[in-house]
Structure 1
Amino acid sequence: MKTRFSRRFAFASALLASALVPTIALAADAPTPDDPADAAYGEMQQMFGGVPSFTKAFPRAGIAGAWAELRDLQFSDKTALDAKTKALISLAVSAQIPCTYCIYADTMSAKKAGATEQEIQEAVAMAAITRHWSTVLNGMQVDFETFKKEMSREMGTSK
């Protein structure tokens, strides 16, 4: 059940990174037979063997859409990126946000998907390097058009 465990933590990180906000269930939020939220919870139950408790904090009006995005991109094996690559990208972003919940879940997901300690370290270091140079380039107000020309020439993709 490594996949179930990995998906549960990946799902947790993705929803938490999407700025979960607590809501109070109102009478208007009561489920109906064809309620998209109930359908999403049913799919979660089937995929994870349970519905993660934090998903109930997400507004019912948006949970079906949030779930569809995760299901069809992050959890799908029919995308261009494999599970390990997705988890490493998510970990790198989570480290920069920063999101403690996401870092925990993404690290576990990356390991479950086969990432080594070195790959995890490099993903986080790449996030740090990107953040560093973003700070330098933006703070120094480097001319973007000049930058693009120089990078195209350096990378051998001059037009």
Structure 2
Amino acid sequence: MIRSTLAAGLIAACAALPAAAQQDPETARQEIEETLGAVPSYLQVYPEAALGAGWAFMKGINLNQQFELDPKTRELILLAVSAQIPCDYCVYYHRRAAAAFGASEQELREAVLMAAVIRHWSTILHGAQYDMEAFRAETDGFFPE
């Protein structure tokens, strides 16, 4: 009973997906080419049945210009996260993209340094099993409301 209810819900949810997510692969390819000038080869390894959904995701997030964060800041964040994952492809892309949006070499280095700082302190605090409640209380004292 539970499985059939879940299956019915999943089928209904899929039917309600936006049209862009259900776009046939050829239509998605045409739109990608119109938008980017070509279909990047890395999108050619995307599963055929999911290309429309992948393109919808890329448009909705990567190409969305309605965020509060400016493109340079977003790319610096993406670079820092990419360095932490680590993903060589992502680091290369987001370094180039951040620079294209005006990030200086110093800003690129600082973004990666901030990622390293987080990894450092996370390792120290987790390894020491530092008390989270004590940490929160002390942090709240630094930033009173």
Which residue of 1 is the match for residue 128 of structure 2? Answer: 140
Aligned-partner Cα distance in 2 for 1:50–1:66:
16
Aligned-partner Cα distance in 2 for 1:89–1:45:
27
- Contact persistence 1:45–1:51 (CA under 8 A): yes
Tell me, yes or no, if structure 1 residue 118 matches structure 2 residue 106: yes
List, as ranges, runs of 4+ consecutive aligned residues in structure 1 with deviation greater than 6 Å.
Answer: none
SS in 2 for 1:74: coil
Please provide the CA RMSD for this pair.
Answer: 1.6
- Contact persistence 1:88–1:123 (CA under 8 A): yes
Describe the superposition over 1:106-144 as per-residue Cα deviations: whole angstroms up to 9, x where unpaired.
111001001111111110000000111111111111121
- TM-aligned CA distance change 1:59 to 1:145, over 3 Å: same
Identity rate of aligned residues, in percent?
A: 42
- Contact persistence 1:73–1:79 (CA under 8 A): no
Letter in 1 for 2:71: A
- Contact persistence 2:79–2:94 (CA under 8 A): yes
Which residue of 1 is the match for residue 144 of structure 2? Answer: 156
Q: Show structure 1 runs of 5+ residues with no match.
A: 1-33
Which residue of 2 is the match for residue 10 of structure 1? Answer: none
Tell me, yes or no, if structure 1 residue 66 matches structure 2 residue 59: no
Instruction: Indicate the structure whose relative CO is greater, using CA pairs within 8 Å and at least 6 residues apart.
Output: 1
Aligned-partner Cα distance in 2 for 1:84–1:152:
30
- Contact persistence 2:23–2:53 (CA under 8 A): no
Deviation, structure 1 residue 45: 0.6
Aligned-partner Cα distance in 2 for 1:112–1:120:
12
Deviation, structure 1 residue 40: 2.4
Matched positions, count: 124
Aligned-partner Cα distance in 1 for 2:135–2:34:
49
Give the TM-score normalised by structure 2.
Answer: 0.78
Describe the superposition over 1:9-42 as per-residue Cα deviations: whole angstroms up to 9, x where unpaired.
xxxxxxxxxxxxxxxxxxxxxxxxx843333222
Alignment of 1:30-109 (within 5 A): 35-109=23-97
Q: Show structure 2 runs of 5+ residues with no match.
A: 1-21
- Contact persistence 2:23–2:52 (CA under 8 A): no
- TM-aligned CA distance change 1:46 to 1:151, over 3 Å: same
